[in-house]
Amino acid sequence: MKFVILTGMSGAGKSTAIKMMEDIGFYCVDNLPIPLLEKFVELSDLQQNAELQKVAVGIDIRNGQALEELKDVLERIRSTGASYEILFLDAEDSVLVKRYKETRRNHPLSGGERVDKGIAEERKRLAFLKEGADYIIDTSQLLTRELKAELDKIFVQNQDYKNLFITILSFGFKYGIPADSDLVFDVRFLPNPYYVEGLRAKTGNDKEIQDYVLQFEEAHIFLDKLSDMLNFLIPNYIAEGKNQLVISIGCTGGKHRSVTLANALYQALSGNKEYGLKIEHRDIGKDALRGK
């Protein structure tokens, strides 16, 4: 039997993940009282029907003070020879606050305090689960379909999972540096296609722009040096336990040079199973929207 404990921060997407686990064949129980967990594992092991060959149990801060008993309960379960895996969903504090404000819900630990106070307290109480987690997914930058793809990778394709998810993000400096950037690179040193007749309306997703930007030796030197640095940094980020890495590449408007080089970097990093990878072009259509 495959037994997964699904936990994590409130607002990080556990309810969505539970539904996705059901869709891929797990028998799911959400918010199971901790005192019942041992008995549930025992009964699941005794059952031989196919329905209980894959089980996911949602446990989170809603268990209140009983959460303090969970560490001992898990140790007793493991001592019986039963095995389990812990999937921990996390997100940056600023993202969690935003999600709570958008849904107008109160954090379960905030009481009359601000939401961020409740989030800080929840992090302290769940720290032991995150430290012992087999899989940590940071949903700060994930779309619903991307979370589904990550769960599919772990529990359907059975791929090795290293917990780091990398977002390559192109942007325009005139619209501001992305606040969630970990690494920011400025490619405004390259000639700008904006001023070339016939290229202004196109983007870095078009071959004409790519050919223009990548004809310059400096673009290739930049990509080689950046790839070399990232090949050094990423394994060290994984070893350190980092879950989310946002690499931002900016030019003036976020339409030509940054998009081209972000696409090229994405191709250079694709195919590595040590981390998840996606690309996003934040400002690619803003000039068109403004009529420029």
pLDDT for 185 equals 98
pLDDT for 292 equals 42
If asked whether residues 199 and 275 sit together in one domain, one would say: yes
Specify the 3-state DSSP secondary structure of 172: strand
Q: How far apart are CA 247 and CA 231, in angstroms?
A: 13
pLDDT for 21 equals 93
Q: How far apart are CA 155 and CA 18, in angstroms?
A: 13
Stated as kind and residue range, the H or E segment containing 159 is: none
What's the total number of domains in the chain?
A: 2
Given 155, 189, 209, the domain boundary residue is 155
pLDDT in tens, 145-189: 989 988 988 888 876 666 788 999 999 999 999 988 999 999 999
If asked whether residues 47 and 115 sit together in one domain, one would say: yes
Q: Tell the residue number behind the tokens 């981390």, with chain if given.
A: 275
Which of the residues in the chain have pLDDT under 50?
291-292
Given a contact cutoff of 8 angstroms between Cβ atoms, the answer to whether 21 and 57 are in contact is: no
- Amino acid code (one letter) for 234: I
* CATH code where residue 42 lies: 3.40.50.300
Given 129, 155, 181, the domain boundary residue is 155
Domain limits for position 26: 2-155
What are the backbone dihedrals phi and psi of residue 54, each rounded to the nearest 5 degrees, phi first?
-130, 120
If asked whether residues 144 and 9 sit together in one domain, one would say: yes
The pTM (predicted TM-score) of the whole model is 0.70
pLDDT for 63 equals 82
Given a contact cutoff of 8 angstroms between Cβ atoms, the answer to whether 170 and 258 are in contact is: yes
Given 131, 155, 179, the domain boundary residue is 155
If asked whether residues 260 and 138 sit together in one domain, one would say: no
42 located within any domain? yes
Give CA torsion, residues 217, 220, 224, 230, to 10 deg: 130
Given a contact cutoff of 8 angstroms between Cβ atoms, the answer to whether 91 and 147 are in contact is: no
Q: Tell the residue number behind the tokens 């325009």, with chain if given.
A: 172
160 located within any domain? no
